[in-house]
């Protein structure tokens, strides 16, 4: 195990460096775990967890984030969207990559809805008074995102527990800021006046498969697992059963062929930044 101080660096630089340490430790000991403090937004959790796949290892990545999420039965924003990713190699099949926020929806989904002038689905957001809302700008008025499950009857206490787990592993364990003290990366939140740690926290893990059973044997059984689930009988009208990682792979193939569609507001923001810093975009 190890704790890495990110020196207030970009999470996109700190995170892969920490994951490489976890992989190196796993290569020697069978498993490696790294907690990170004093970092910043690290982008896509899956990008870091997937680094372990080429080494025949299972990769795990998680991070805490700006406090935008209210725990079950609360109107206070005490947690971030706190994503988790687990990446598991297979043989002939593509890897199993589950990468998800511990909220009903990630904050980025709200930003997309804002740019498209669309309403959010019910169960994503609550008002500052704890009432259900479909306004994607609700957070700017003191509202909050809701833990995975959306309400108590549908298991939001489980999403709350998952988000809390990520916060504790990423920050209480590493010495980063946790809960409402996590420094914000959204413009409508002010930095906390009384930090309890250093920066944002992450947590990474790597597990060498052959520390448990031969890697080729494991990957053959992963192929069997994936194939069986792909062939599951579907609900009437449903297309097929997906394996975690399938939607992203399918989207990647389309984007590589047809390009990446850009929202007009994003293009305008990028052009304004380019003009401001005299960069030709």
**Contact between residue 163 and residue 3 where contact means Cβ atoms under 8 Å apart:** no
Q: What is the pTM of this model?
A: 0.93
Residues 36-92: tens digit of each pLDDT: 999 999 999 999 999 999 999 999 999 999 999 999 999 999 999 999 999 999 999
Burial of 72 (0-12, 13-18, 19+ CB in 10 A): middle
pLDDT band at 187 (very low <50, low <70, confident <90, very high): confident
For the chain, what is the radius of gyration of the CA atoms?
A: 20
């Amino acid at each position: 195990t190890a704790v890495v101080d990110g020196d207030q660096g970009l999470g996109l630089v700190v995170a892969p460096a920490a994951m490489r340490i976890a992989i190196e430790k796993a290569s020697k000991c069978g498993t490696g775990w790294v907690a990170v403090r004093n970092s910043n937004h690290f982008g896509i959790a899956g990008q870091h967890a997937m680094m372990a796949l080429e080494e025949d290892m299972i990769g795990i990545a998680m991070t805490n984030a700006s406090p935008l999420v209210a725990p079950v039965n609360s109107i206070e924003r005490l947690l971030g969207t706190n994503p988790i990713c687990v990446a598991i190699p297979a043989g002939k099949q593509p890897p199993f990559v589950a990468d998800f926020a511990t909220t009903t929806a990630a904050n980025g989904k709200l930003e997309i809805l804002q740019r498209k002038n669309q309403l959010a689905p019910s169960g994503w957001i609550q008002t500052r008074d704890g009432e259900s809302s479909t306004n994607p700008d609700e957070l700017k008025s003191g509202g909050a995102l809701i833990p995975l499950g959306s309400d108590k009857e549908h298991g939001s206490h489980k999403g709350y527990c998952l988000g809390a787990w990520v916060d504790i592993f990423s920050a209480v364990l590493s010495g980063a800021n946790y809960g409402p003290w996590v420094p914000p990366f959204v413009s409508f939140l002010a930095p906390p006046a009384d930090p309890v740690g250093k920066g944002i926290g992450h947590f990474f893990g790597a597990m060498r498969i052959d520390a448990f059973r031969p890697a080729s044997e494991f990957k053959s059984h992963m192929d069997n697992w994936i194939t069986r689930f792909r062939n599951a009988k579907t609900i009437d009208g449903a297309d097929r059963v997906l394996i975690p990682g399938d939607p992203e792979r399918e989207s990647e193939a389309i984007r590589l062929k047809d390009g990446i569609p850009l929202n007009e507001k994003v293009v305008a923001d990028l052009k304004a930044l380019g003009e401001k810093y005299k960069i030709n975009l």
